[in-house]
Structure 1
Amino acid sequence: MKDEMMTASPAARRDTPGRYEYPPVIWVLLAGNLLVRAAGFAYPFLAYHVAEPGHAPGTVGTILAVFGVGWVMGQLLCGWLIDRLGRRSTLAAMMLLAGLASALLAGAKTAGALVVGAALVGVVFDAPRPVLSAAINELIPDPRKRAKVDAWRLGWTTNAGAAISGGIGGLLADAIGVPALYWINAVAFALFAAIALSGMPPDVRRPPSITKTGYRRAFSDRRLMLLLVSSAATLTASIGFFAALPMLMSRHGLGAGAYGWTQLANASTVMALTPLLTPWLSRQVATLPRMDILAAAAAWTTGWLATAAVADSTLSFSLAVAACAPGEIAWFVVAAGVVHRIAPAEHRGRYHGVWGMALALAAIAAPLLVAYGLGHGGPPMVAVSILVVGFAGAALCVPLARVVAAGSDASARSRRRLAT
């Protein structure tokens, strides 16, 4: 898929004023992402929605894992659709389906209905992530500019949305019930579909030789596979952990309102630190992928979330997750930058779809990890499990740095041969 910026002649692109300014479609996607994140109650409140009819903790963990399986499949499906059909068609279709699936989940009470609803919502709800990632990769050629957009995307789209959904969602859950949150989420998905259709340029068909290719190239790229495994481990110990946080908090009599405050604390801290860290991070990744920062950020976040696992009050949970913020920002900017660097032009959607699986895999692993830890030693075992998994993700940055550097050297040699 191409748009006007990519189909213009090289000379026209060189002469275009504001060539490196952010294209309007980026702002449309950021605004739409903020909308669905702000009303994004489906994932963070799923544990409460399943537990409300009286289902056992084991059922809660299983349905969270089913949601994660749907999420994994959805990222692969979205990546393929982006490369085959285009960003606009993919986003509009997936958001319409997300609205329908969220409405179905709102009325689900039995275990079977909850499993089906969770799987369907899992497939479609996170379609904006690979769509926006592929758009940033294609439309913003400057790595420093891309890093700034990625940082603001995390700080002011994902986390501003999380702050709203966490704070307001907790209050609404207490006032009108958790199922009503899913109806609100359904409306937001439908609105984003309308925004995509009205605010994004029409898709341009790609050559058949490109659209018929599958995921073979992506899954055979050692750089992408190492990044996927490292990211999945890190995210299991960090962002995916938030899905399992209600299980820990409920042991201390803390409900959905208290959980909402922890979401608000983490998101607000990320939002506050993003403008402070973004200039430095964008300079660091302008020329090099900086795997050392990726490893340090993973270790920092892991350490603080291990502390959160043994917290016992709303305040202590909130302080621990807020302290993760610097690591979250740095990790996301560097990791996203690696995918931007290694993704071939004709496989941008698929590469970002594969990397998007990392968070989905974390959504499967984190609840199971926490449930196992609580059943075999309590919160201290949860803390140890988080440390082991998170530090494994940080350690994988060492071989990842080697293969990324080797790939960069090979690309440089190829360019020199072509130049001569």
Structure 2
Amino acid sequence: MSVTTASQTLTWRTVPRELRILILARTINRLGAFSMAFLGLLLTEHLGAGLTAAGLILAAFGLATIPSRLLGGWLADRLGRSRTIALGLFGCAASQLWIAASPSVASAAAAAVVFGLAFEIYEPASQALVADVSRPEDRPAAYALLWASTAVAGVLAGLIGAVASSIDLRLLFVIDAVSCVGCAAIVLGLLPRTAVGAPSKDEVPARPWRDSRLLVLLGVATVFATIYMLIVMALPLTLRARGLPGWHLGVLLTAGALTSVAATLVLKRITAGRDEFAMMRGAYVVLALGLVVTAYADRLSLFVVATVLCGLAEVALLGHSMSLAAGLAPEHGRAAYLAVFGLCWGVATTVAPLLGTQLLEHTGPTVTWLVPAIGALACAAAQPRLRRHLT
């Protein structure tokens, strides 16, 4: 299989064909992936749910994504990558159509739980596929390229969501369902349908929960994922608290997407030949700096600076962390390892809204951003120990 040489950066023309197909499919899916942000509004405004009930339903969705990811890892190492991705996407499509057609809160709640159970099935398979088709030295840039492509699509998704939500909130879920089906069709039609299969009699079964290296990496990644989700949740509330107009958020989302693309194009060239743990330590320091700037920002220009700093760090950290997790796994258990590693996002999705809202309410925006900055510095300090544990 042809991959880029060490002197090249990973671009659309130089990545393996399978990765190009996956990026295309996931980008199309991401264009419609805006419905979850509006589920609370659908529950409260259209179905008459109270805020407490809506919060519980959203929490139930988040909890359901945890077994969803584990199931996705198990299926990906047995059914194959493309079949598992398609299965998860069809499940997402069906559950979102159910949400759109729900006549009551109870029906929407059941549909939201089913949506959560399907929501993460395709992630371990997607992430394992990137590792399958990339050389170890190319993986950080490959993961970053996939993330950056979906980030750019996310900006366009916001525009589509804004238009659709002004017509009917239920339309958002229908559009998202259509994008899921379109993504699944590309995956089934263009990606090879090969299963990795269970380990042979001579191979040791994959036991990610018994691998202390993975669990240590998972702990650090959970801190990072929580910081990331805090940024997503707290940024619009911080802009409002600082008296800035809502359109500033769109500018910052665009700046973040452009930063992701630019950083991805040069990531491999910058990191080639350098110690990856030292690079991650530096990225955490840059992330902390961006969070500190945000803590004291009072104008758009400062928020843009902070967004660029955080975006640069996130591209490096997302790619390298995923690459490290994939490198720990045996080939026949790669998706299972990545499924366990990906649980950091389920924990973060649950913790970040609770932590962020409490910090904003009781301490204000400044402390809300300084707390994750301290967390980022702690992750930077942990890199030497992480290196000793993993190598």
- The question of a shared fold, defined as TM-score above 0.5 by the shorter chain, is answered with yes
Contact 1:233–1:392 (CA<8 Å) still a contact in 2? no
CA distance in 1, matches of 2:250, 2:97: 22
What secondary structure does 2:35 align onto?
coil
CA contact 2:84–2:122 (8 Å) conserved in 1: no
CA contact (8 A) 2:93 2:177 kept: yes
- The answer to whether the 8 Å contact 2:284/2:380 transfers is yes
Aligned position for 1:194: 185
In the alignment, which residue of structure 2 is the partner of 1:87? Answer: 81
When normalised by structure 2's length, the TM-score is: 0.83
Q: How far 1:248 moved relative to its partner?
A: 4.3
Which position in structure 2 is the counterpart of 1:73?
A: 67
* Partner of residue 265, structure 2: 275
Alignment of 1:17-56 (within 5 A): 22-46=15-39, 48-49=41-42, 52=45
Alpha-carbon distance between aligned partners in 2 of 1:199 and 1:88, rounded to the nearest angstrom = 9
| In structure 2, C-alpha distance between the alignment counterparts of 1:203 and 1:340, rounded to whole Å | 19
CA offsets, 1:53-85, max 9 Å, x none? Answer: 576665565444333322222221111110121
Query: Is 1:183–2:174 an aligned residue pair?
Result: yes
Name the structure 2 match of 1:125.
119
Residue 139 of structure 2 is aligned with which of 140, 146, 149? 146
More off after superposition, 114-123 vs 359-368 = 114-123
Q: How many residues align?
A: 381
1:249-268 C-alpha deviation (Å, 9 max, x unpaired): 55568898654443333112
> Deviations 1:6-54 (Å, cap 9, x if unpaired)?
xxxxxxxxxxx77987543222211111111122113444555556457
Matches for 1:374-389 after TM superposition, within 5 Å: 374-389=360-375
1:333 aligned residue (319, 341, 345): 319
Alignment of 1:1-400 (within 5 A): 22-46=15-39, 48-49=41-42, 52=45, 61-107=55-101, 112-140=106-134, 142-155=135-148, 157-173=149-165, 175-204=166-195, 206-207=197-198, 217-239=207-229, 241-249=231-239, 251=241, 259-284=249-274, 288=275, 290-305=276-291, 307-308=293-294, 317=303, 319-400=305-386
- Note closer, same or farther for the CA distance 1:204–1:83 as it changes in structure 2 (3 Å cut): closer
**Displacement after TM superposition at 1:402 (Å):** 1.1
CA distance 1:311–1:106, change in 2 (3 Å): farther
* TM-score calculated relative to the size of structure 1: 0.78
Q: Deviations over 1:82-113 (max 9, x none)?
A: 01211122111111001112223335586555
Contact 1:236/1:359 (CA < 8 Å) preserved in 2? yes
What is the one-letter code of the residue matched to 1:162?
Answer: G
2-side partners of 1:252 and 1:45: how far apart?
A: 24
Asked if the contact 1:37/1:165 (under 8 Å) is kept, the reply is yes
Whole-Å Cα distance in 2 between the matches of residues 192 and 118 of structure 1?
21
Q: 1:128 to 1:369 in 2, by over 3 A?
A: same
CA-to-partner distance for each residue in 1:291-325, whole Å, 9 max, x for gaps? 12223322322442354466567766555333311
Q: CA deviation at 1:377?
A: 2.1
How large is the RMSD of aligned CA atoms in angstroms? 3.3
Residues 43 and 88 of structure 1, relative CA distance in 2, 3 Å threshold: same
Identity of aligned residues (%): 27
**Deviations 1:349-387, CA, capped at 9 Å, x for gaps:** 111111222222211111111111123223234224323
Which segment is superposed worse, 320-329 or 220-229? 320-329
SS at match of 1:203: coil
AA at the equivalent of 1:385 = V
Q: 1:264 to 1:176 in 2, by over 3 A?
A: farther
Shift of 1:235: 1.6
Unaligned runs of 5+ in 2: 6-13
Q: Aligned partners of 2:56, 2:326: CA distance in 1, in Å? A: 34
Structure 1 unaligned residues grouped into runs of 5+? 6-16, 406-420
1:351/1:364 CA distance change after superposition, 3 Å: same
1:269 and 1:223, CA in 2 relative to 1: closer, same or farther beyond 3 A? same
Quickly say closer, same or farther: Cα 1:18–1:377, change in 2 above 3 A: closer
